[in-house]
Amino acid sequence: MSTSATVNAGGYLENLLAGQPHLPASPLAWLNVLRAEAVDRVGALTVPTLRDEEWRFTDISQLTKMSFHPVRATISLQVADIERFYIEEATTRLVFVDGVYAPQLSSNVSGIGVAVVNLEAGFAAHAAAIEPYLGRLTGFRDNVFAALNTAFLHDAALIVVPRDVEVAVPVHLLFIATQKDVVSYPRCLFLAESGSAVTVIEDYVSLQEDAYFTNAVTEIALIDNARVNHIRVQREGAKAFHIANCAVSLARASNYQSVSVAFGARISRYNLNVQLAEGAECAVDGLALISGRQLADTHTCIDHAQPQAASNQSHKCIVGGSAHAVFNGKVVVRQGAQRTDSKQSNRNLLLTSKAHVDTKPQLEIFADDVKCTHGATIGQLDDEEVFYLRSRGLSDTAARNMLTYAFGAEIIERIPISSLKYQLEQTVLEQTTVQL
């Protein structure tokens, strides 16, 4: 049985690669080389199965049974179709429809003193600046999905914040899925030059409910003292597959704050790798709110490569229906990374008897002068808390909804954009009300 699965999986990757040769060659030689390397890697790798340690709780055989093709023709959307996804504060917006840049829907891309462009438009001015980072931060050698994305790399959301520029307005990157059976390869690269600051919202939404596949890669480079606030919202369609890799590199004394929220998709997987140089700081928070037969998997790796860096992580999962949440949080402290301060907490709330959580908070420490803690809990709503609310006249359902909402709101509270915060809080409220 396993043999036939392997055969299918091989064919699966070939099918996915089928559209790749039709990509127009880039004017940049190194980009063409990069793509060719990625194609080679896809050829050498296989689709991960439950036998791979990194995928042992996430069964993606359903994904390999479906056939997706790259987008052939984009559907032209009107502003009215997507207006509801707009975030009030984020007037600078790049819109990608099924992974393809839609300039007519994007707005205010040049008004804020930084380059917010799609990759093709950015080549002329920024080729030299992005070459060291594009495709280099995400290791696609052993990651078949990152390799696939890189093989199809022709466009991307590119944000280059010049030295000492602090961007006041958040940048909204909106990725909209409109077609079924399509695989899209969204790609982002943020480059925050020394002393700069920026807030970016990476937002995945859908206009239809059929199956499609989003395979995204995001690369973020923070140069000395830069600050990046990264909010990631995954609210894909109910039958979607979402696999994303994000690699963040923090140079000396830079600061990375991220909140990632996963509500949608039938199966979603988010790999986040953060590497910290001396004195860098990061706060990496996440919330997965799933129900029905959804599966949400978050794998993070926080790599303290140099001394005196600090990391703080809080990841929460609210699991209803017969959904399945997976969390694997690895913290590495390398030899010589003294005076590292690392905290991690993973809390999971199981709402139903069929809900299921697999969690693995992992520490790998090679330095002695460090403070590292992690904690994980799995439980349900506290009966005493429910009783307290009921004694104040709330119904059982209302009390439970309120407590579930409060559990998730702790993460959403950390998003610094009030209208988005409000939107997401409403989603949590609605979801919890439906579930109970």
Judged by the rule CB under 8 A, the positions of this chain that interact with other proteins are 53, 57, 335-336, 338, 348, 350-380
Residue nearer to other proteins on the CB measure, 360 or 414:
360
Residues near 197 by beta carbon (within 8 Å), at least 6 away in sequence:
161, 165, 166, 167, 226, 227, 228, 229
The vertex-4 CA angle with 213 and 15, nearest 5°, equals 35
Residue nearer to other proteins on the CB measure, 366 or 388:
366
In the complex, minimum distance from the CB of residue 324 to other proteins, in angstroms, rounded to a whole number: 9
Alpha-carbon span 388 to 398, nearest angstrom: 12
Spatial CA neighbour of 39 closest among 196, 130, 149: 149
Residue nearer to other proteins on the CB measure, 238 or 367:
367
In the complex, minimum distance from the CB of residue 357 to other proteins, in angstroms, rounded to a whole number: 5
Helices in 326-417 by DSSP H: which ranges? 383-390, 396-412
Residue nearer to other proteins on the CB measure, 207 or 367:
367
Q: Three-class SS of residue 96?
A: strand
Instruction: Let me know: does 202 contact 123? Beta carbons within 8 Å.
Output: no
What's the distance, CA 323 to chain centroid?
19
Residue nearer to other proteins on the CB measure, 337 or 412:
337
Residue nearer to other proteins on the CB measure, 57 or 213:
57
In the complex, minimum distance from the CB of residue 297 to other proteins, in angstroms, rounded to a whole number: 14
In the complex, minimum distance from the CB of residue 115 to other proteins, in angstroms, rounded to a whole number: 42
Residue 436: DSSP 8-state:
-
Spatial CA neighbour of 433 closest among 398, 383, 396, 385: 398
Residue nearer to other proteins on the CB measure, 110 or 335:
335
In the complex, minimum distance from the CB of residue 312 to other proteins, in angstroms, rounded to a whole number: 15
Alpha-carbon span 40 to 33, nearest angstrom: 11
Residue nearer to other proteins on the CB measure, 277 or 370:
370
In the complex, minimum distance from the CB of residue 248 to other proteins, in angstroms, rounded to a whole number: 23
Instruction: Let me know: does 30 contact 130? Beta carbons within 8 Å.
Output: no
Residue nearer to other proteins on the CB measure, 114 or 310:
310
Residue nearer to other proteins on the CB measure, 121 or 376:
376
Please provide the size of the chain in residues: 436
In the complex, minimum distance from the CB of residue 199 to other proteins, in angstroms, rounded to a whole number: 33
Token duo for residue 225: 């003292």
Give DSSP secondary structure letters for 321-368: TT-EEEEEEEEEE-TT-TT-EEEEEEEEEE-STT-EEEEEEEEEE--S
In the complex, minimum distance from the CB of residue 57 to other proteins, in angstroms, rounded to a whole number: 8
> Sign of dihedral through CA atoms 364, 368, 372, 378?
positive
- Cα 79 to Cα 102, 186, 358, 409: the distances in Å are 11, 20, 41, 30
In the complex, minimum distance from the CB of residue 404 to other proteins, in angstroms, rounded to a whole number: 12
Instruction: Let me know: does 308 contact 336? Beta carbons within 8 Å.
Output: no
Residues near 33 by beta carbon (within 8 Å), at least 6 away in sequence:
none
- Cα 239 to Cα 23, 62, 103, 137, 214: the distances in Å are 28, 11, 28, 30, 11
